Structure 1
C-alpha cells in the first residue's frame, strides 16, 4: 500500500492509503475542535442515526442570514421529516424508465464524444471526455442548455480548497463555500423563473411543483440550493469515480485483466473503487444530544468528521481491506453514505460509470494511465480524487 500511495503522490494525511490504522475508532482534535470517527461500524451507526446527529453543520456557528440562505433546501444539510418528505418526491425522477433512457443517452453521447477524439492515442480521460459527458447528462436532467454546463465547474472551487469544517475555520469556511457560486446561482435562478411559467418534464420543473410538509412550495433559493446540493452526485461524482478507477486498474493490472475478460465485474469493480479509493473521504455530522460512540462520550453541539476513507479500510468490515478486488462481495462501503442520506444519485452514477467503462474497453484494447503525465488532484482534505488524468491507448 505504501507503493500505491507513493506512486500516485498521495500525502501523509491519506494514511489509510498506506495501510495504516488509527489505534482508536474515535479521537478528539483539540486544535481544531473536531471529533474524528475512523471505524466502519461506528461511522455507519452515526450516519444512520438522524435522532442524535445532523448533517447541518451551520447550527454550530453564528451564521448570518445572508449566508444561511445558501444552505436552506440543500438535501445534504437537511434532517428529519422534511428531508424525508422532499427526498421521496424527488427520487421518483430516477424511476426504471428514466434509468433505461439514461443508459441509451449515455451510449449515444459516448459514441459522439469518443468520435471527437479523432483516433488520438493520447488524451485526457476527464477533461477531453468524461467531464463533457457528465455535464451534458446533468444539464439534460435539469432541462437547461448543454452550454450552461460550464457553470457546473464553479463547484470545483470548493473541492480545491485546502480547508475543512472546524470550529477554528468557523463561519469563514461557509463563506468560502458560497461566495464563488454566485454566477452559478444566478444562472439556475433564471431557469427556475422560466419553469414557474413554462413547466416541462425536467428536474427543475419537478422541484417547482414539490410541496413541503406544510403544503407550501419551495422558495427560489431553496430550489437553487437543492440543485447545487445534488450537483456533486449528479455530475462531479462520475468523473471522480472514473478517474480513481483508472488509477486502481493501472496499479493492479491483474484485476484490470479480470474485468476485461468478464464485463459482469464492472459494477463490483466500481463499488470496489468507492471503497478502496473513496472519492469523498469525509463527511460531517453535528451532535444533537450528548452521545456515546465507541465508548467515547461526545457532548451536544460538537462537530464530528466521519472519515469514510478510513472506515472503508476497517478490517472488522472488510476481509483483506488493503487489497483491490474487483469481485469483492459483499462490499458494505460507505462511499455513497448510509441511511437517510444515502446518495440520491447513486444509481445514476453507477449506470453512467458502468456504460463508460464498457464502451472504453470496447473501443480501446489498451487503455492505461500515461506515465509521462502525472494526475492532478483536488486539494480539499475531504476528497481523494483526480480532476485530470491523462491516458494512452497503446
Structure 2
C-alpha cells in the first residue's frame, strides 16, 4: 500500500481514498457538511440525490427538512416514554433464558428489532423478517474504494439491492395500508407528514425505515455486546458497577469509545480543502476512522484504559454535527435498561475460554456475532 500524508490525514493511492484518523480532524470534517458531503454514492457508482430520503447520504437543505420531520418520533419525551415497554420486553427475553446465555441471539439482537418493529407498527408475527433483513444489511457491508476498476464494488451494491427488494416491497405495502387506514405508529406518522407541503414518497419512506432498522437496531445490538465484553475484561470495574449502578451510563460511553459500533464514516469533498496540514482535492472520498479518533492521545488521557468515570468523554461514535445519530438516545436507553436487568438477573456474566465470542464479519463495525456467557460460578 502506497500512502502519502501524516499520522492523522493520509492518501491511499491503491484505493484512491483519503483516511482521517485524528479526533480534531474528524470533528472538523463532521462540522463542515458544505465541504465534506455525505452524498458518497456520487463517487462510488450510486445515484443518491437530496430527495431520496436516506438521511445518512443527504446534505442540506434537504437533510434539514427531512430530519426535522422524522425527529419528532425521537424527541426526549417520546424516547423516555418507551422505557416501560423496553423494560417489559427485556424481562420477557430474560425469562426465556435457561442456564448460560448467548447474549446476541437471546437479547442483544431481538430486543432492538422488537422495539423498532413496534415503533414502525410492524406485526409481531413479522419480527423474524426484520431480523433477517438486518442480517442481510450487515452482510452487504464492505470497505469503500474510489477506484472500482474491476466493478466488484458495483456488483456488491447491485446484489445488496436485489437482496433487500423483499423488504422494500414489504414496507411499501405497509405504507399504502397506513394511507388507507391510519394507525398510531411511526409509519403512519411518516405517511401523513409533509415537507414543504409535500408528502414523503414511497422511496423516502422505505429509505428512512431501512436506516432505522440498520442503524437503530445494529447500534444497540453492538453496544450491548461491547459493553458486556468491556466489563468481562475489567472485572474490578464490573464489581464497582454492580455495586453502584450510577456508574453504568459511564461504562456504556466508554464501551462506545473503545469499541465504536461503526468504525468509519465516509464523506466526499465538494471543494479543495486543507485538513490536518494536508490538501485534499475536490471530488475525493474521505474515510473518517472514528474508532481510531476515539483513541487519540491528544484528546483522551490513557486512551487504551477502560474508565467508566471518564469525564469528559467526547467520543465520536454517534457522529457529530448535522448527522449526529438520530437514534442515539434510544440506543443509550435500551442499553441502560437491558444491562441493568442483566446485572440484576445474573450474579456472573463472564466469557468462557472454551467457547469464545465470535467477531462480527464486517470491516466497518466493531462487535460480536455471538457472545456465550457463563452466568454462575
- TM-score using structure 1 length: 0.89
SS of corresponding position for 2:252? helix
Counterpart CA distance in 2 for 1:209 and 1:82 is 18
Deviations 1:13-47 (A, max 9, x none): xxxxxxxxx96110111101110001000001101
Q: Does 1:183 align with 2:166?
A: yes
- Counterpart mapping for 1:89-168 below 5 A: 89-117=69-97, 120-152=98-130, 153-161=132-140, 163-168=142-147
Task: State the match for 1:348 in structure 2.
Answer: 330
Contact 2:249–2:336 (Cα < 8 Å) also in 1 = yes
How far the C-alpha of 1:197 sits from its partner, in A, is: 1.2
Counterpart CA distance in 2 for 1:193 and 1:115 is 37
- Counterpart mapping for 1:176-215 below 5 A: 176-213=159-196, 215=197
What is the aligned-residue RMSD (CA, Å)?
A: 1.9
Structure 1, unmatched stretches of 5+, are 1-21
How far the C-alpha of 1:174 sits from its partner, in A, is: 2.7
Counterpart CA distance in 2 for 1:103 and 1:252 is 28
Counterpart CA distance in 1 for 2:159 and 2:275 is 31
State how many pairs are aligned: 367
Counterpart CA distance in 2 for 1:163 and 1:109 is 32
Contact 1:155–1:181 (Cα < 8 Å) also in 2 = no
- Counterpart mapping for 1:299-310 below 5 A: 299-310=281-292
Q: Does 1:358 align with 2:340?
A: yes
Counterpart CA distance in 1 for 2:267 and 2:276 is 16
Counterpart CA distance in 1 for 2:217 and 2:313 is 24
SS of corresponding position for 1:305? strand
How far the C-alpha of 1:328 sits from its partner, in A, is: 1.0
Moved over 6 A (4+): none
- TM-score using structure 2 length: 0.93
Contact 1:32–1:168 (Cα < 8 Å) also in 2 = yes
Task: State the match for 1:13 in structure 2.
Answer: none
Contact 2:137–2:214 (Cα < 8 Å) also in 1 = no
- Counterpart mapping for 1:302-341 below 5 A: 302-341=284-323
Contact 2:175–2:188 (Cα < 8 Å) also in 1 = yes
Contact 1:151–1:183 (Cα < 8 Å) also in 2 = no
Task: State the match for 2:259 in structure 1.
Answer: 277
How far the C-alpha of 1:366 sits from its partner, in A, is: 1.2
How far the C-alpha of 1:246 sits from its partner, in A, is: 1.4
Contact 1:40–1:317 (Cα < 8 Å) also in 2 = yes
- CA 1:187–1:162 in 2, change beyond 3 Å: closer, same or farther? closer
Structure 2, unmatched stretches of 5+, are none
SS of corresponding position for 1:368? coil
Deviations 1:166-214 (A, max 9, x none): 123453343244222111112111111111111122111111122224x
Counterpart CA distance in 2 for 1:292 and 1:126 is 42
